[in-house]
């Protein structure tokens, strides 16, 4: 069965960087687009970024464009999110999700999330 496990979250000061990872199993990772979605405490869902099956296409939310970079390693079945210049507004649970392509909202499996807290 599909299994997505995020890691790399923690407490970080404003302006610093953090790298999240998502280990995937139970499906052919290299065949599917992947997404990051975040949820601030007590708030709704906010899509962050996605990457095509081969890494050739990437899209970002305006709120993270230029600061976050999504990438993947198909040889290791792993998705990454490099987050730079973090602000308190980036505090959230970050979920990775398996998608049926980029530019779609068809996210059929989600990990349990990793909490990122940006605080001085």
Partner 1 sequence: QSVLTQPPSVSAAQRQKVTISCSGSRSNIGSNFVSWFQQFPGTAPKLLIYDSDKRSSGIPDRFSGSKSGTSATLGITGLQTGDEAKYFCAAWDSSLNVVVFGGGTELTVL
Would you count residue 90 as binding partner 1 (CB under 8 A)? no
13-72 binders of partner 1 (CB under 8 A): 35, 37, 44-47, 50, 59-62
Binding of partner 1 by 112 (CB under 8 A): yes
Nearer to partner 1, 35 or 72 (CB): 35
Nearest partner of 29 among 100, 99, 70, 77, judged by Cα: 77
Query: Does 110 help bind partner 1 (rule: CB under 8 A)?
Result: yes
Contacts with partner 1, 70-89, as mask; x by CB under 8 A: --------------------
Instruction: Say how many residues touch partner 1, by CB under 8 A.
Output: 24
Question: Which residue, among 31, 28, 39, 30, has the nearest Cα to 6 in the 3D structure?
Answer: 39
Residues 6+ apart with CB under 8 A from 94: 6, 9, 20, 36, 37, 38, 48, 81, 113, 114, 115, 116
Sole residue written with tokens 């990457």: 51
Point out which residues bind partner 1 (CB under 8 A). Answer: 35, 37, 44-47, 50, 59-62, 95, 100, 103-113
């Amino acid at each position: 069965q599909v299994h997505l496990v995020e890691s790399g979250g923690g407490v970080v000061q404003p302006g610093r960087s953090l790298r999240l990872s998502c280990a995937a199993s139970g499906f052919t990772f290299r065949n599917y687009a992947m997404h990051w979605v975040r949820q601030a405490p007590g708030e709704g869902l906010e899509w962050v970024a996605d990457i095509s099956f081969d890494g050739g296409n990437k899209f970002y939310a305006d709120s993270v464009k230029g600061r976050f970079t999504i990438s993947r390693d198909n040889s290791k079945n792993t998705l990454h999110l490099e987050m730079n210049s973090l602000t308190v507004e980036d505090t959230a649970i970050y979920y990775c999700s398996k998608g049926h392509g980029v530019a779609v909202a068809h996210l059929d499996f989600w990990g349990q999330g990793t909490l990122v807290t940006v605080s001085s």
